[in-house]
Amino acid sequence: MSLKLISLRAKTNLPKEIHSLLDPEKQSQARRYEREKRLLGLASLTLSLAALLLFFYSGLSTRAAHLFLGKPVAWTFLVYVTLLMAFLVLVGFPLSFYGSYAHEHKWKFSNQTVRSWLWEKAKSFGISLLITYLILGLLLWIMARFAPIWWLFAGAGMALVSVVLATLFPVVILPIFNKYAAIEDRDLTDALEKILSREGLRSSGFFREDTSRQTKKENAFLAGLGRTRRVVLADNLMRNMSRPEIESVIAHEVGHYRRRHIWKGIGIGTLEQLVVFWVINLVMKALFPQFLSSPRWNLALLPMFVILTGIVSGLLFGPLGNALSRHFEKQADLYALENIKEKKAFMTALAGLADRNLSNAYPEWWVKILYYSHPPIGERLRTAELFGTDSHGFTQ
């Protein structure tokens, strides 16, 4: 063992055994990067909480919810939501700039200029505002129309919204932020088409995303439902990965479809949302007698509703949801290992992503439980190592 590796472990609490495909120096950086990102996330969450409380207890929420009295409440709704969203963005702007621009430049990930970053944020605000109009408009209409059991109809309504957004996401929302060009490498697209066809999946196309305009990080995904389904590869990933590695990544994504994880996720998410709305209904009625008395009061109480939703869903389903997601991801990994020619390609793809994206392969147990929706890369490499052996219960 080198003195350099011993020093790295002493400084960053790296585990005694690091997979041979991982770079110890990069993993040391990954732990520091993750810690800083986690602190920024907590700061952002705290600031958002403080902003919502300020908006409510300052009286701004009540005054905004009672604008245009005597006119249709829809006008008040549009103005209120715009004011609230703008207020949250303005309060959080300095921290947002540091977290997603300055900090990413510090770690040499971001390729953005200040101008391009501001333009991305402006587009993001516009899209978020439209989606918020849709979701909150539906929710407030359900509250007004079905007040006694609004939580039941709201859960079903959110499930419908999830399906619509999942369908439109790759063809309507993503092109607002990036350009997508058809992949011209015929051998690659034929190989990926073969992987999809094993499960009877059809893609509307194979696209290269110009991710490098924004970041050096890499990504790939299979997005959309039905006719909007498409395979997307970041240009960074295409430059850094071999064809077998890319095939292993897409095989993992197909594994999610094979196991129906999207539909299971929507179903489970709907049940969770029903429970969350039911609990919030009880709490809001106990704390705020005005709740459900009128659309305007429901609007005025929105900041507290949002805070309680975050607290209840986080406490009841945060770690549980992460655990379920990690289980789904492991199933997708096993599917990929069963359906690719080279197990080594799957492993080098994971290790390469961990090192280049600075993903911590060996987080502390509590960090994994609270934050990780995927198994840490170290665990995934271990799963791949054991695949095909008696200790994993599989044979090849």
pLDDT higher than threshold 70 for residue 218: yes
Beta bridge partner(s), residue 220: 233
pLDDT at 228: 87
pLDDT tens-digit map of 242-262: 999 999 999 999 999 999 999
CA–CA separation, 90 vs 385, rounded Å?
Answer: 48
What is the distance between the alpha carbons of residues 355 and 359, in angstroms, rounded to a whole number?
A: 7
| Cross-sheet strand order for the sheet of 220-223 | 180-182, 206-209, 230-234, 220-223
Collapse the DSSP code of 208 into the 3-class scheme (helix H, G, I; strand E, B; otherwise coil) and give the result: strand
DSSP-assigned letter for residue 293: S
Q: Is residue 125 part of a domain?
A: yes
Say if 392 falls within a structural domain. Answer: no
Cα separations (Å) of 46 from 35, 38, 51, 284, 368?
17, 12, 9, 22, 21
Which residue, among 234, 227, 172, has the nearest Cα to 205 in the 3D structure? 227
- Residues near 280 by beta carbon (within 8 Å), at least 6 away in sequence: 151, 305, 308, 309, 312
Q: What is the rounded distance in angstroms from the CA atom of residue 164 to the CA atom of residue 174?
A: 14
pLDDT category at 394 given cuts 50, 70, 90 is very low
pLDDT tens, residue by residue, 100-127: 999 999 999 999 999 999 999 999 999 9
Q: What is the structure's pLDDT at 225? A: 85
Question: pLDDT band for position 203 (50/70/90)?
Answer: confident
Contact 360/31 with Cβ under 8 angstroms?
Answer: yes
Domain membership of residue 340 (yes or no) is: yes
143, 295 in Cβ contact below 8 A? Answer: yes
pLDDT at residue number 288: 97
Does 3 fall in a domain? no
CA–CA distance, 142 with 157 (Å, rounded to integer): 9
User: Looking at the predicted structure, is the pLDDT value of residue 278 above 90?
Assistant: yes
Domain presence at residue 396? no
What is the residue-averaged pLDDT of the chain? 93
Q: Which helix (H) or strand (E) holds 231?
A: strand 230-234
Which of 196-205, 211-220, 232-241, 283-292 is predicted least confidently?
A: 196-205
Query: What does the CA dihedral 99, 101, 105, 110 come to, rounded to 10 degrees?
Result: 120
Residue scoring higher pLDDT (229 or 2): 229
Q: Which amino acid is at 222?
A: L
* Spatial CA neighbour of 256 closest among 189, 148, 182, 329: 329
Asked whether residue 230 is domain-assigned, the answer is yes
Q: How many other CB atoms are there within 10 angstroms of residue 215's CB atom? A: 17
Bridge partners for 146 per DSSP: none
Domain count for the chain, please give it: 1
Q: Measure the CA–CA gap between 113 and 116, rounded to whole angstroms.
A: 5
**Is 238 a member of any domain?**
yes
pLDDT surpasses 70 at 3: no
Query: pLDDT above 90 covers what percent of the chain?
Result: 86
- Residue 96, judged by CB atoms within 10 A of its CB (0-12, 13-18, 19+), counts as middle
Range of the domain at 328: 22-386
Over the stretch 137-191, which tens digit does the pLDDT of each residue have? 999 999 999 999 999 999 999 989 988 998 999 999 999 999 999 999 999 999 9
Type of residue found at 314 = G
Cβ pair 206, 250 in contact under 8 A: no
Give yes or no for residue 7 having a pLDDT over 70. no
pLDDT band of 275, cuts 50, 70, 90: very high
* Residue 140 confidence (pLDDT): 96
The predicted model gives 258-269 an average pLDDT of 92
Question: By C-alpha distance, which of 34, 39, 14 is closest to 372?
Answer: 34
The predicted structure's pLDDT at residue 4:
53
Query: CB of 254 within 8 A of CB of 198?
Result: yes
In the prediction, which pLDDT does 188 show? 95
Q: What is the DSSP letter of 291?
A: T
CA dist 142 and 243 (Å) reads: 49
Token pair, residue 376, equals 């840490």
Question: Judging by DSSP bridges, how do beta strands 220-223 and 230-234 pair with one another?
Answer: antiparallel
Q: Using CA atoms, how far apart are residues 49 and 29, in angstroms rounded to an integer?
A: 30
Whether residue 396 is predicted with pLDDT greater than 50 in this model: the reply is no
Sorting pLDDT into bands at 50, 70 and 90, what band is 14? Answer: confident
Amino acid found at 220: A
| Average pLDDT over every residue of 312-328 | 96
Q: How confident is the model at residue 393 (pLDDT cuts 50, 70, 90)?
A: very low
pLDDT (tens digit, 9 = 90+) per residue, 339-362? 998 899 999 999 999 999 999 999
32 and 12 Cβ atoms separated by less than 8 Å: yes
Q: Is residue 152 part of a domain?
A: yes
Judge contact between 140 and 171, C-beta under 8 A. Answer: no
Across the range 303-325, mean pLDDT stands at: 96
